[in-house]
Amino acid sequence: MIIGLGNPILADDGVGIFAVEKVAGQVAHPLVDFHCCSLAGFELLDMLVGYQRAVIVDSVKTGKYPVGQVMELETASLMTTVRLASVHDINLATALELGRMLGLEVPSQIVIYVVEVADNTTFREGCCPAVAAAVPVLEKEVLKLLTEWHGDLNA
């Protein structure tokens, strides 16, 4: 499962969706599914159930890295808490742990690509130039990973 997260009408926040849409247009493999959404927590867990591997592409705004920098995260780095983020939603780490505790088949391997963004709150379609330049980088990284996992992507 390849998931692009974000909101395409919130400036740079749509970068995950834009990148995954580009990759989806190049891959026709029976074991690779694509989904783009603005969901998290429980809804994200529902999408991941039944898959052995997953790639998640999203934006991040830390202020610690140059805008447009692409980074790969390990799911272990997300394990800051296994408690609910709120009574209404849960973070990715908690969703995965909950899935495991419930005996659900959740991916054993998850690769997360994020892009440092400048603006993820302004209602505007499209990313700033630095973030838009990260889309081909993400596209290349995801295609490379999928090729490692599955070989011919148009099988």
Report the distance separating Cα 36 and Cα 91, nearest Å.
Answer: 18
pLDDT higher than threshold 90 for residue 87? no
Alpha carbon distances (Å) from 153 to 27, 54, 139, 147 = 5, 15, 14, 6
| pLDDT at residue 32 is higher than 90 | yes
pLDDT at 76: 65
- pLDDT confidence tier of residue 78, bands split at 50, 70 and 90: low
Angle, nearest 10°, between helix axes 15-24 and 134-150? 50
pLDDT band at 77 (very low <50, low <70, confident <90, very high): low
- Averaged pLDDT of the chain: 89
80 pLDDT exceeds 50? no
Distance CA 109, CA 72 (A): 13
Q: How far is the C-alpha of 87 from the C-alpha of 85, rounded, in Å?
A: 7
Mean pLDDT of 28-32: 94
CATH no. of 2-150: 3.40.50.1450
C-alpha to C-alpha distance for 86 and 65, rounded to whole angstroms: 28
The pTM of this model reads 0.90
Q: How confident is the model at residue 82 (pLDDT cuts 50, 70, 90)?
A: very low
Q: What is the per-residue pLDDT across 39-61, written as a single tens digit (0 to 9) for each?
A: 777 888 899 999 999 999 999 99
Mean pLDDT across 110-127 = 95
